[in-house]
Amino acid sequence: MNLQQVICTLAGKTKTDKNMLVKMNVVTIIGSGTMGNGISHVFAQNGFNVHMMDINQGALDKALATIGKNMDRLVAKGTLTEEAKLQALGRIKTFTDMVEAVKDADLVIEAASENIDLKLNIFRELDKHCPANCILATNTSSISLTRIGSVTKRPGKVIGMHFMNPVPIMKLVEIINGYATDAEVTQTIFNLSEQLGKVPCVVNDYPGFISNRILMPLINEAILALQEGVAGVSEIDTIMKLGMAHPMGPLQLADFIGLDTCYSIMHVLHMGFGNQKYAPATLLANMVQAGYMGVKSGEGFYKYTPGSKELVVSARFATKQWKQ
């Protein structure tokens, strides 16, 4: 963001309209895992001061290293200068104490694990400790914004800001209005997303919103087909890549998203719609229980070796007639 262009403050006194750029002094990101580090990267690169908070110091260290590596790639490609990279990294502060991280925040984006009780607790705490005008956003993939807003005293300022993985590359931000979200807050988050170089789309609060209501049943169906022995991992992914022009097969995508996250989203769809068609595949549940989460744990449908880009099917599924 070009700070010279800033013409609107978030004080809440100025009505936000379509053409107003949003100024925020501090944006706090709660959770520094797969999504939290990407969101922090994008805000820092666009001139915002970022407070990146996680309960796990190791996750913060890993996130800073990942952001540094991803920015190095942009420098190598010529899309970021070394100086801009150092400035962006200098804008990121890390915290393990939430109260410290949010006390002067204009916007908080929660990107902690996809667990409803965890998120409700985080929002109760955020409501207590954030400044009164602070917007509380969540990167949840599926959990009801209305439910999250209801545990705060500011449901009008609670909104979904659903970034896609990998955040620095993916253009979409799915903005989710809770039942009580103020139109002005939606406009602010819309403008802010555009300032980050993203393409925002606004949707309403139904289980899975749009993206995961459509994507997750596709992934779950691919897992069911594997579970039933209809085809192997490579065949399922190849058919969807070459036959449907998907850039990545559904099983590889599930590994990339994290199988625990996929399972949680299916659970939300299943409970939210009360329809058996959304029941998570037993194979997905078993893999999550056993700790096979995909890329982040080193193995899911594929086996991941640090430093190697080769796509290797997990030995568990390597036999042609694999069937659970």
Ligand X SMILES: NC(=O)c1ccc[n+]([C@@H]2O[C@H](COP(=O)([O-])OP(=O)(O)OC[C@H]3O[C@@H](n4cnc5c(N)ncnc54)[C@H](O)[C@@H]3O)[C@@H](O)[C@H]2O)c1
Q: How far is the CB of 22 from ligand X (least distance, A)?
A: 22
Residue 228 DSSP class: T
* Catalytic hit among 177, 212, 220, 234: 212
> How many residues in total does the chain contain?
324
Rounded to the nearest whole angstrom, what is the least distance from the CB of residue 279 to ligand X in the complex?
19
Q: Is 51 a catalytic residue?
A: no
- The residues, any chain, with a CB within 8 Å of residue 249's CB and separated by 6 or more, are 222, 236, 237, 238, 239, 240, 241
Q: Quote the least distance from Cβ 148 to ligand X, whole Å.
A: 11
In this chain, which residue has its C-beta nearest to ligand X?
Answer: 33
Position of tokens 């994290």? 258
Tokens representing residue 214 in the block: 């459509």
Cα distance between the two ends of the chain: 51
Q: Beta strand pairing status for 92-95 and 107-110?
A: unpaired
Residue given tokens 């800073």 in the structure block: 64
Q: Which one is catalytic: 141, 142, 144, 264?
A: 141
- Does 2 qualify as catalytic in the annotation? no
Q: Which residue of the set 37, 46, 114, 162 is catalytic? A: 162
User: 3-state DSSP helix/strand/coil percent for the chain, to nearest 5?
Assistant: 50, 15, 35
Q: How far is the CB of 118 from ligand X (least distance, A)?
A: 6
Chain centre to alpha carbon of residue 291: 21
- CB closer to ligand X, 182 vs 255: 255
| Residues 21, 47 contacting (CB under 8 angstroms) | no
Q: Give the whole-angstrom CA distance, residue 308 versus residue 126.
A: 40
Q: Which is nearer to ligand X, 28 or 181 (CB)?
A: 28
Instruction: Let me know if 177 is a catalytic residue.
Output: no
The CB-of-125 to ligand X minimum distance in angstroms stands at 8
Footprint on this chain of ligand X (rule: CB under 6 A): 30-36, 53-56, 59, 111-114, 118, 122, 139-141, 162, 164-165, 257-258, 261, 296
Instruction: Pick the catalytic residue from 40, 174, 177, 299.
Output: 174
Would residue 212 show up in a list of annotated catalytic residues for this protein? yes
Please name which of 88, 173, 102, 98 lies closest in space to residue 136, comparing C-alpha atoms. 102
Q: How many CB atoms lie within 10 A of CB 164?
A: 18
- Closest separation between CB of residue 91 and ligand X, Å? 20
Strand residue runs (E) in 43-116: 49-53, 92-95, 107-110
Catalytic residues: 141, 162, 174, 212
